[in-house]
Amino acid sequence: MSSENENGGQVTIRHVAARAGVALSSVSRTLSGHPDVSPAMRAKVEEAVKALGYEPDFLAQSLRSGTTRNIGFIIRDIANPLFALVARACEQELRRNGYSMILMNSDGSVETESKNLMLLRRRRVDGVIASLVAEDSPYIKKTILSLRRPLVLLDRDMKDLNASAVITDHYTGVFEATKHLLDKGHRRIAFVTGSENVYTTRDRLRGYRAAFTAAGEEVSEKWMALGGFDPEYALVHTRNFLSKNPRPTAIIAGGIGSTAGSLRALNELEIEIGKDIAFVALDEWPLFDIFRPKISSVYRDAQAMGVEAAHLLLEMLNGKNPSESVIETKFTARTSSEGGL
Amino acid sequence: MSSENENGGQVTIRHVAARAGVALSSVSRTLSGHPDVSPAMRAKVEEAVKALGYEPDFLAQSLRSGTTRNIGFIIRDIANPLFALVARACEQELRRNGYSMILMNSDGSVETESKNLMLLRRRRVDGVIASLVAEDSPYIKKTILSLRRPLVLLDRDMKDLNASAVITDHYTGVFEATKHLLDKGHRRIAFVTGSENVYTTRDRLRGYRAAFTAAGEEVSEKWMALGGFDPEYALVHTRNFLSKNPRPTAIIAGGIGSTAGSLRALNELEIEIGKDIAFVALDEWPLFDIFRPKISSVYRDAQAMGVEAAHLLLEMLNGKNPSESVIETKFTARTSSEGGL
DNA sequence: GTGAAAGCGCTAACAT
DNA sequence: ATGTTAGCGCTTTCAC
């Protein structure tokens, strides 16, 4: 089973050829399933391979073929449970197709993200799947263009990139959630999430605004805090909203980090969701189903995102043109969106 | 910035040498900071590198040097929030030291895990960090021995492996948790978690048993369900325990998956933790702090585990001998461990 | 201080 | 059907 001989040195195709008493190329042909190989040759080579525990060197094969069967996967933070689900499904699907995943966190920094992309380029990955920190950095755009490898974006919308994308239909879910609140009579509906330099926020915002318009109500910038996906940002701004008079009667938190921050602020101030204030979370998290009170949410299938991303990339690796795949969202009203009025 | 010329072909050290009018080896020397390089040479080479956007090929360097600066990271499931924290911290730390992480999920299968290890070997990773599915598979052990690369185990205890390990002192935390319950008067304390073929469970069980012994009480196998870390297993066995008469007055769930399953069963039966039954969770999860009622827990610092794992591996890569690093645990009593009697 | 050449492990084109 | 050879992009002797 070992691919190293007793000397500690690696067993190469050379050793196999020597032991079998044949040429290097014959070993290579046999192993790669070339048609022109006699049964006698096959037997000799297979014996030697087994006896020596030979194992082809992926590195050497890569240098030769120009293809590594490695895929770069860049996200802001693998500890975000949504990304973790995407990553798991994606890795499984890539693995089934003979690819490995190089994981890199961009830590919310455009600079780190850019460095990661450049490193993946130097590592000659066959493709990249990425959830970019921001869409509006010319620096990132330049780095991406220099990749010259198939790219799949996760929930990002950028022009002139020749990339595929898995995008979420946030609009529908957020529209329904906002409409639900408006129908109940809420008017001061705070919206706390990351900034508009990612499609995720823009599409959610579109749904939020559209629901107000459909209800014949004015939407106010005053109740929007669109500055960061991290819990700290949501904590600070939720706190701030709640100190106002009058304060919001409902809160929509976009993403798991924002939800965590918002709920922390509410806890701190001993404001009960589903009673003192209505609350809706966009995206769900582990043990979501046993959280009490039950949280009204806009759900999306993160696993499907991962599988789709892998498929889109595999298609491009097979020469197909870039394309888009849309993941749907579903709003479900539960206890947390009651009360508040 | 691009490392490809207008022909779409890769820019190699050859092109740089040609443009600078020098030998290949001189370019290599200049770029690798060799001392014997004249300022004139340096200038010529640097000009050519910049003009052509040359970027050394990691693959070719790897083949030459025999070192890839890639680390394999194998876990059961990246979507487990604890592993996700470990992975994030580990990736950051490896990246800071010039290494990349190849992520593989073993999906709870010894066979997948073994295949993953063999693939990492073929990919010539410089080292492996792994949280193995089981310690008692001779097949896995054989595969690991054939790796012949530095290995760091996460919360696993295996002999004759020449591996480093980050292990958790579950004993202390679980002892305190069990003692806390015993002190309150609980005697039927159910313990639901994964099987004893991993150190994690064995060390927790040791703490559980020791607390009973210290209290002069007998521990009963009847209240142990040590068969799987997945929520389904915990769901089924918690349900089963609760159908007994008399039923347990307290439950300890080991791991996030088990906790999820147990809590689901309790919800289903409308048994309130902290009131109808006492509950302790081993390990915490995202939004744990805002979960209500507040859950009594045994906490460990997952980020520290990731950082430690990276450090232990880097040390071995620097020729040091394998060693162990211990992560402490801390029991905190909260609302959920009240009631039940 | 610089260049020429060998070779890391592999595959494919070209012989025979 | 099998062997010989060149070369993927790089670094490192070894000459000069």
Of residues B100, B118, B260, nearest to A102 (C-beta): B100
B99, B93 in Cβ contact below 8 A?
no
How are strands ordered across the β-sheet holding B278-282?
B224-226, B189-193, B250-254, B278-282, B296-300, B329-332
Residue B193 pLDDT: 98
For the CA of B290 and the C1' of D9, the distance in angstroms is 55
CB atoms within 10 A of CB B33: 7
Q: Which of residues 129-188 of B touch A (CB under 8 A)?
A: 142-143, 145-146, 148
Strands (DSSP E) contained in B19-162 are: 70-75, 100-105, 127-130, 151-154
Choose one of B30, B46, B64: the last residue of a domain: B64
Q: What share of chain B is helix, strand, coil (3-state, %, to 5)?
A: 45, 20, 35
The reply to whether the CB atom of residue B57 sits less than 7 A from any atom in nucleic acid chain D is: yes
Residues B4-45 pLDDT 10s? 554 557 999 999 999 999 999 999 999 999 999 999 999 999
Q: Is the pLDDT of residue B257 over 80?
A: yes
Q: Is the pLDDT of residue B290 over 50?
A: yes
B131, B83 in Cβ contact below 8 A?
yes
Percent of chain B surpassing pLDDT 90 = 97
Number of domains in chain B: 3
Structural domain contains residue B278: yes
Domain that holds residue B262: 170-300+330-337
Structural domain contains residue B114: yes
Residue A75 pLDDT: 98
Amino acid at B54: Y
The contacts of residue B85 (CB under 8 Å, 6+ apart) are: A79, B302, B303, B305, B306
Residue B221, class by beta-carbon neighbours within 10 Å (0-12 exposed, 13-18 middle, 19+ buried)? exposed
A208 and A196, same structural domain?
Answer: yes
Amino acid at A184: K
A309 and A161, same structural domain?
Answer: yes
B177 and B278, same structural domain?
Answer: yes
- B309 token code pair: 């794992």
Structural domain contains residue A86: yes
Of residues B55, B102, B121, nearest to A101 (C-beta): B102
User: CB A286 to CB B62 under 8 A?
Assistant: no
Structural domain contains residue A1: no
- Residue corresponding to tokens 């080896």: B25
Going by C-alpha positions, the residue among A241, A147, A236 that lies closest to residue A191 is A241
Choose one of A31, A47, A64: the last residue of a domain: A64
Q: What's the DSSP call for residue B318?
A: T
Q: Which residues of chain A have pLDDT under 50?
A: 1-3, 6
Structural domain contains residue B3: no
Residue B180 pLDDT: 98
Choose one of A30, A47, A64: the last residue of a domain: A64
The contacts of residue B19 (CB under 8 Å, 6+ apart) are: B48, B51, B52
B286 and B182, same structural domain?
Answer: yes
Strands (DSSP E) contained in chain B are: 70-75, 100-105, 127-130, 151-154, 164-168, 189-193, 224-226, 250-254, 278-282, 296-300, 324-327, 329-332
- Residue corresponding to tokens 């014997």: B36
Structural domain contains residue A87: yes
Give CA separation, A104 vs A100, A119, B167, B208, in Å: 13, 10, 25, 38
B191 and B133, same structural domain?
Answer: no
Structural domain contains residue A6: no
A103, A90 in Cβ contact below 8 A?
no
- Residue corresponding to tokens 């609980």: B186
For the CA of A10 and the C1' of D3, the distance in angstroms is 24
Residues B113-121, mean pLDDT to the nearest whole number: 97
B179 and B292, same structural domain?
Answer: yes
| A100 in contact with chain B, both atoms CB, cutoff 8 A | yes
CATH code, domain carrying A26 = 1.10.260.40
Structural domain contains residue B2: no
Handedness of CA B319, B314, B72, B163 (dihedral sign): positive
B112 and B201, same structural domain?
Answer: no
B142 and B50, same structural domain?
Answer: no
B140 and B124, same structural domain?
Answer: yes
A299, A330 in Cβ contact below 8 A?
yes
A295 and A179, same structural domain?
Answer: yes
B177 and B99, same structural domain?
Answer: no
CATH code, domain carrying A263 = 3.40.50.2300
A294 and A174, same structural domain?
Answer: yes
Residues B215-234 pLDDT 10s? 999 999 999 999 999 999 99
Residues A58-85 pLDDT 10s? 999 999 999 999 999 999 999 999 999 9
